[in-house]
Structure 1
Amino acid sequence: MHSEFAQIPLDRLRYGLVWEGTATLYAALDLQPDDHALIITSAGCNALNALLAGPARVTAIDLNPVQNHLLRLKLHAIAHHPPAVLRGLLGLDGPATVAVSGAALQTTLPPAEAATLAECLRQHPRGLLLAGQLEGYVTSFVPSLPAEWQHRLRGLLACESIRQQQAYFAGELDQPAFRRAFIAYFDAANLSRGRDPRLFRYAADAGGATFYERLRHHLGRQLARDNFFLRFFFFGPEGLPEYLLPPCYQAARHATLRARLPRLRLRTGEATEFLLSAAGQSVSKASLSNIFEYVSPAEFARVSAALAARPAPARPLRAVFWNLLQAQAPLHTAAVPLLAATSAHLSTRDACFYFGGVRVLDYPAPVGEESEIGQRSALAGEFA
């Protein structure tokens, strides 16, 4: 795929958190015990969340080897340490706990990886969730505000109903000074602090004003106090209740994750190229993050048509992706098998306010495919 992402240096951690919500992932893909799921690695959260859903196999793939290295570090913590070590390493309990967890991990990592981790935590003492370029940028917004506005933002967490929250936002926050500060911080010029400006080549919307309207709309649908992404966006990882965390970071899921780690494989490469390769023919579900944000509409149409034309014995493929500032797949066509009603429903319920919409595509099995029973038998043999 001809993506702008291939034009930027892949030598740093760009994401410390996966911003695509787990509930949307699960609802879009409906992962089943015989599925092979392909998941964009990013920070690894949804690859781990996919494992929790119990498919036969999960392949995590990313163009950026640094993102895969982050996931390997998390896998090591899950495999060799109790849940508190991973929690501390993420930064959920403050810098002191980050240091303690880092020291614990260095006792079990190979020397070279231990040194890499030590340097990472030296640069990012608040933990791995804040080590990504994007996360460092977005969570610096609130500290840039006057104390009064910071206090008012915190007041959102005290709202107990959507109606109360809407009234609070309108009366206490939706004022010219706050609006200007938000739009200026997240406008096109400043966005380069969180993402390489080359990634906005195809963006149709202006960043700050668009994101502000999405925030306003989101606060009319979901309570801020119960929304992991909104709380992280404004206030960072410290103090987040356990029940709000992505499932893979909840202590109660740790043992299940550890038991299912053998089902996970990591690959460095481009997701759609893998789906079109011989190795990708067994993939039945795919979470593609927002990778189509970085390609032209014509290139998206070309890639989607190629996926629709995968030859037998490729499996039927259900895929989900998120739009940000570019509205890919607006309509169902022969080459773009959009599930319009499902996409619209999930877009209204998605947990992260700044995305522009969810798209679910359903590619049927190629003509001449093996019978369902035969295909399931072949899949079982592959994973035996």
Structure 2
Amino acid sequence: MALAHAKTRHIAVRNAVHQHDEFSKQGLLERAFTFAFRGLVYAQIWEDPVVDLEALQLGPGMHLVTIASGGCNVLSYLTADPARITAVDLNTAHVALGKLKLAAARHLPDQASFHRFFADADSPANVTAYKAHVAPHLDQVSRDYWEGRDPIGRKRIGGFARNFYRRGLLGSFIITGQWLARAYGIDTRKMLAAKTLEEQREIFETSFAPLFEKKFVRWLTSNPAALFGLGIPPAQYQALLGDAPDMASVLRARLEKLSCDFAVSDNYFAWQAFGRGYGKHPAAPLPPYLQAKHHAAVAARTDRVDYRHANFIDFLAGQPAASCDRYVLLDAQDWMTDAQLTELWTQITRTARPGARVLFRTAAEPTLLPGRIPDELLARWHYADEDSARFTSADRSSIYGGVHLYTLNAA
């Protein structure tokens, strides 16, 4: 369960993450985290696109700027028919994954082959389809990435023949968590067989909750490096911990929400967390871009998406004033210094059109902007506190402390 998908899509990685002397304990943790996040991190993004679309009120004629991450939400936003989406990321693997999804949506022969490629993601036919229909339409950098080899020598495109959702740093972390659960006699997939919320609650209370009382689990989660696979850098670890007695208590509460607040029949995040992939049955929950009813629209609108291997602030700095309508920052701000936050919001405010909206998430519950950026800059924006609380409750990924919406005040 990823707490911060923006993690390598982050804005100015080194300056944001490396905030301590390199030879200090904290500095060594920060550099270890940066090293861990060089490759693919998120095979699937962990922000709920249904919540995003409601909060953003995205529509025709609008220009959305977002951090790309795994690309699921970028394609899902196309269902709202925006004029333009710019997806920026500093992680080359995430940019390559986004471009692969665009080319596949545009050039695979039908919805069934697209579904097999990204919903099943575990068939040798996907590699054949890649060679015949997708590879010829990829830019050379993206093609070199997918036809290159990962650190243990596997061709990266081969991941789609062997469950791609087991790949990436987060995928490895979840697999490790499942192994740990099995060591204590717990089958995580049992949750996916529950028929009611009551059954889900019973499974959580009897199987999962006791895990967080185990001495080894409490010791393990007290080490910030152990949570790198969740996308939690050292600075965000402290924000996530907040006033809680320990990290095991925090993680227990987040897993409780995922397990008990939403029916697994309607929550593909639960399927990823407990089963490491999407469900195979016809009614299995899926992100919007993989739903059959949206395929034609998504495929027809892929030319509206522009992927940039770029820094979010730098991209905005190159845009004209009043040229953007919507901004999605994921949780990247959790990494940032006050100076970086001020620079970011200065560019957002400069490029925002009337009625602009900014959506972001935080590890801790409160919005992090008050006291961090100048009052006169923050005064340009209205914090939708009641809506933000509602969006936080509704986010099916259940891994963030807060989902926050800001709207531009009238001049």
Which TM-score tier does this pair reach, normalised by the shorter chain? Answer: 0.7 to 0.9
Q: Secondary structure at the match of 2:405?
A: strand
Which of 175, 193, 205 is 1:139 aligned to?
175
Moved over 4 A (4+): 1-7, 111-115, 122-125, 176-187, 196-199, 240-243, 330-333
Could you say which residue in structure 2 is the equivalent of 1:44?
71
Q: Secondary structure at the match of 1:233?
A: helix
Superposed CA deviations along residues 16-43 of structure 1, whole A, max 9, x for unmatched, are: 1110001111111011212111121111
Shift of 1:70: 0.9
Whole-Å separation in 2 of the counterparts to 1:89 and 1:178 = 39
Change (3 A) 1:140 1:126: farther
Shift of 1:277: 3.7
Shift of 1:199: 6.1
Matched, 1:337 2:382: yes
Matched, 1:89 2:124: no
How many residues are paired up?
Answer: 360
Superposed CA deviations along residues 233-275 of structure 1, whole A, max 9, x for unmatched, are: 1211153545411011123322211111121111222224433
* 8 Å contact from structure 1 (residues 121, 127) kept in 2: no
What TM-score comes out, normalization by structure 1 length? 0.81
Matched, 1:170 2:205: yes
Shift of 1:228: 1.1
Matched, 1:306 2:346: yes
Superposed CA deviations along residues 107-152 of structure 1, whole A, max 9, x for unmatched, are: 231496556424203467534333321222123311333377433x
Could you say which residue in structure 1 is the equivalent of 2:92?
65
* 8 Å contact from structure 2 (residues 127, 157) kept in 1: yes
Superposed CA deviations along residues 142-198 of structure 1, whole A, max 9, x for unmatched, are: 1333377433x3333343333443234223442257765655565523112454745
* 8 Å contact from structure 1 (residues 308, 335) kept in 2: no
* 8 Å contact from structure 1 (residues 338, 360) kept in 2: yes
Change (3 A) 1:186 1:101: farther
* 8 Å contact from structure 2 (residues 67, 312) kept in 1: yes
Whole-Å separation in 2 of the counterparts to 1:79 and 1:115 = 20
Could you say which residue in structure 1 is the equivalent of 2:196?
161
* 8 Å contact from structure 1 (residues 165, 220) kept in 2: yes
Which of 264, 268, 276 is 2:309 aligned to?
268
Matched, 1:245 2:276: no
Q: Secondary structure at the match of 2:66?
A: strand
Q: Within 5 Å, which residues of 2 pair with 1:104-143?
A: 104-108=129-133, 109-110=135-136, 116-118=145-147, 119-122=155-158, 126-143=162-179
Shift of 1:293: 1.6
Whole-Å separation in 1 of the counterparts to 2:220 and 2:117 = 29
Shift of 1:359: 0.5
Identity %: 22
List alignment gaps of at least 5 residues for structure 2: 1-10, 19-33, 148-154
Whole-Å separation in 2 of the counterparts to 1:40 and 1:64 = 10
Change (3 A) 1:141 1:129: same
List alignment gaps of at least 5 residues for structure 1: 368-384
Q: Secondary structure at the match of 2:65?
A: strand
* 8 Å contact from structure 1 (residues 284, 316) kept in 2: yes
Which of 121, 126, 136 is 1:101 aligned to?
126
Change (3 A) 1:281 1:189: same
The residue type equivalent to 1:141 in the other structure is G
Whole-Å separation in 2 of the counterparts to 1:280 and 1:197 = 33
Q: Secondary structure at the match of 2:358?
A: strand
* 8 Å contact from structure 1 (residues 293, 326) kept in 2: no
Could you say which residue in structure 2 is the equivalent of 1:203?
239
The residue type equivalent to 2:267 in the other structure is N
Whole-Å separation in 1 of the counterparts to 2:409 and 2:310 = 25
Whole-Å separation in 2 of the counterparts to 1:269 and 1:176 = 41
Could you say which residue in structure 2 is the equivalent of 1:226?
266
The residue type equivalent to 1:274 in the other structure is F
Whole-Å separation in 1 of the counterparts to 2:301 and 2:83 = 9
* 8 Å contact from structure 2 (residues 64, 85) kept in 1: yes
Matched, 1:23 2:50: yes
Whole-Å separation in 2 of the counterparts to 1:127 and 1:190 = 24
